[in-house]
């Protein structure tokens, strides 16, 4: 029976090399490697191109190795559904982060559910902290988002020139070195 390995990183700047080293360092002789690079953890496992390919190639009774639990899904439900689908095919799932634990056993299912729920809660808390920080910064008068590409005076001039002198949007964009979309937002709010 073959051994498969799956790794994933969220951005193209990252590499799956560390995950590969972890799996090889744990002593697994991997026959087939699948890696999704530049695929967010928010994307359901079944929608990831390489994970989909892995599911199409792995046969019942074979082994899948991943370095961490969050490589298998975006939240507790996704991880649970992925493990359940693999267990139905008698595919052994090894998560190095958890040690040698059969995720299809009752104890394994309990551990899996708890860890996936904690990971989901951490992600939710991160979003909550980010939103709270943005709200505080806004309340303190900080300007959020991208800096304006034009000054108040330039915006007033654009409006005046467009309305009173019939200067075209394209001409204004060239004159102020901004995009046509920027000029449109200013002269036609």
Please provide the size of the chain in residues: 189
10 given a catalytic annotation: yes
Distance CA 5, CA 96 (A): 11
Nearest to 87 by CA among 69, 70, 63, 107: 63
Alpha-carbon distances of 159 from 43, 67, 122, 166, rounded to whole Å = 43, 57, 47, 10
Please pick, among 7, 10, 105, 149, the residue that the annotation labels catalytic: 10
108 close to 101: Cβ distance less than 8 angstroms: yes
Distance CA 19, CA 17 (A): 5
Locate all alpha helices (DSSP H) within 140-168, ordered by sequence: 152-164
Burial class (CB in 10 A: 0-12, 13-18, 19+), 63: middle
Which residues carry out catalysis? 10
């Amino acid at each position: 029976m073959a051994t498969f390995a799956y790794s994933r990183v969220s951005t193209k700047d990252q590499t799956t090399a560390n995950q590969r080293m972890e799996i090889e360092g744990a002593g697994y002789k991997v026959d087939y490697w699948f890696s999704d690079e530049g695929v967010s953890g928010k994307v359901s496992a079944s929608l990831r191109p390489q994970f989909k390919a892995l599911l199409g190639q792995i046969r019942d009774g074979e082994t899948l190795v991943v370095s961490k639990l969050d490589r298998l899904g975006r939240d507790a439900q996704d991880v649970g559904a992925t493990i359940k689908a693999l267990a139905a095919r008698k595919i052994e799932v090894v998560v190095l982060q958890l040690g040698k634990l059969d995720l299809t056993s009752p104890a394994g299912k309990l551990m899996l559910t708890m860890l996936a729920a904690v990971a989901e809660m951490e992600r939710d808390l991160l979003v909550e902290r980010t939103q709270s920080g943005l709200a505080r910064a806004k309340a303190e008068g900080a300007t959020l988002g991208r800096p304006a590409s034009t000054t108040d005076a330039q915006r007033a001039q654009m409006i005046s020139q467009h309305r009173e002198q019939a200067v075209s949007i394209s001409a204004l964009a060239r004159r102020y070195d901004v995009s046509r979309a920027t000029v449109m937002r200013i002269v036609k709010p």
